[in-house]
Amino acid sequence: MPHNVIITVNSKEDKEPIRKEIEKAGGTITNEFTLIHAFSVTFPDDYVSTFHSDPRVKHVETDGEVRIQ
């Protein structure tokens, strides 16, 4: 089952190295945010835990639809 997450990195300089790590882990970047240093990513397996321990990564969050009433 695919895992959809948002990966936020610490700085602009961290984006390219993390992009390469995402692709190396089999992830697909579905969106790159410009106002924040982040990617929306789909992983085929549970490679997400690899990014939790990377010092260049600020946050890893589940990506999903948000609704307000």
Instruction: Report if residue 68 sits inside a domain.
Output: no
Task: State the pLDDT at residue 15.
Answer: 96
Helix/strand number for the chain, H first, E second: 2, 4
3-state secondary structure of 31: strand
Task: State the pLDDT at residue 50.
Answer: 79
Task: State the pLDDT at residue 54.
Answer: 93
Provide the CATH number for the domain around residue 28. Answer: 3.30.70.80
Instruction: Report if residue 67 sits inside a domain.
Output: no
13-26 pLDDT tens trace: 999 999 999 999 89
Task: State the pLDDT at residue 66.
Answer: 83
Task: State the pLDDT at residue 49.
Answer: 75
What is the span of the domain harbouring residue 10? 3-62
Low-confidence stretches of the chain (pLDDT beneath 50) = none
Phi, psi (degrees; rounded to nearest 5) at 4: -105, 120
Task: State the pLDDT at residue 34.
Answer: 87
Instruction: Report if residue 53 sits inside a domain.
Output: yes
Q: How many structural domains are present in the chain?
A: 1
Instruction: Report if residue 69 sits inside a domain.
Output: no
